[in-house]
Amino acid sequence: MTQQPPAVRLKGVGDSLWVTLDPALPAEQLQKELQTIFSRLKHLAINARVVLDPGDGKEHPDLIAALGGFLKETFDVGMVTAATKKRKHTDGRARTRELHGNLKYRRSNVLMVSGRVRSGQKLEAGKHLVLLGDVNPGGAVVAGGDIFVLGCLRGTASAGQPDDESAIILALDFKPSQIQIGGYVAAGLPPAQEKTAEFARVENGTVLVEDYLAADPFGRIPWPEIR
């Protein structure tokens, strides 16, 4: 028996929460599904940018408006937009102008802080987190997107919360007691032989830790992308 896909699915894409839904279902049912999913996000939903994707390539302005209004009123999300159609051909100049415009006028979703996260302390960010300092054993850092520790990571780090498996955790000295990316947890990771920048990512359902410079995880991207 073939299992039907869920009516509403959520994932993190760049700086947005991307919601794929079935437009054939009644709006009331879709609202109930959104209520369940966004209730789990708690404060991470506040002022978030949400993209609603009916998934059939068609425009559903009334449905998008109704669900967008529901999300803003119920969960205080920020901007709600419909998914735009992918362009088949984009020349280099157009892509450059688009990137320049996005970077110039885009509000940053990065929380950058300095200092040391000590035992018993917990630092949280709705999107990406950059820490100029260390995370001591017993300290914790949590983010909805990527985590960059420009120091020693010895405590716990949870990136891509609650379910963004594309997030990464990077530290200049990578020695965490436990890490989590999306719903995947890893503990007891072997320390590197020498101090080197390492990062963790999810691949095929497994948390991998690699030398950042050697792996060059973003080197094959043809154009800079906003995460």
- Cut 0.85: pTM above it: no
Distance CA 141, CA 105 (A): 29
**What average pLDDT score do residues 181-187 get?**
93
H or E stretch covering 155? none
Is the pLDDT score of 57 beyond 80?
no
DSSP code at position 76:
-
Is the pLDDT score of 168 beyond 50?
yes
**What average pLDDT score do residues 137-156 get?**
96
Is the pLDDT score of 35 beyond 80?
yes
**What average pLDDT score do residues 188-202 get?**
84
Is the pLDDT score of 89 beyond 50?
no
CA atoms within 13 A on the CB side of 189: 27
Distance CA 192, CA 174 (A): 8
Q: Which two three-digit tokens encode residue 79? A: 């901007």
Is the pLDDT score of 128 beyond 90?
yes
Rounded to a whole number of angstroms, the CA Rg of the chain reads 19
DSSP code at position 89:
-
**What average pLDDT score do residues 141-146 get?**
95
Give the model confidence (pLDDT) of 91-114 as tens digits.
555 555 554 555 455 556 889 999
Positive/negative CA dihedral, 217, 185, 51, 112: negative
Distance CA 117, CA 119 (A): 7
**What average pLDDT score do residues 29-34 get?**
90
Nearest residue to 135 (alpha-carbon basis) of 150, 152, 147, 148:
152
Q: Which two three-digit tokens encode residue 143? A: 């983010």
| Residue 98 phi, psi (nearest 5) | -65, -45
| Band of pLDDT at residue 147, cut at 50, 70 and 90 | very high
For residues 86 and 89, which has the higher predicted lDDT (pLDDT)? 86
Q: What is the pLDDT of residue 202?
A: 94
The residue ranges of DSSP E strands in 90-177, in sequence order, are 110-114, 122-125, 128-132, 140-143, 147-153, 156-159, 169-174
For residues 115 and 105, which has the higher predicted lDDT (pLDDT)? 115
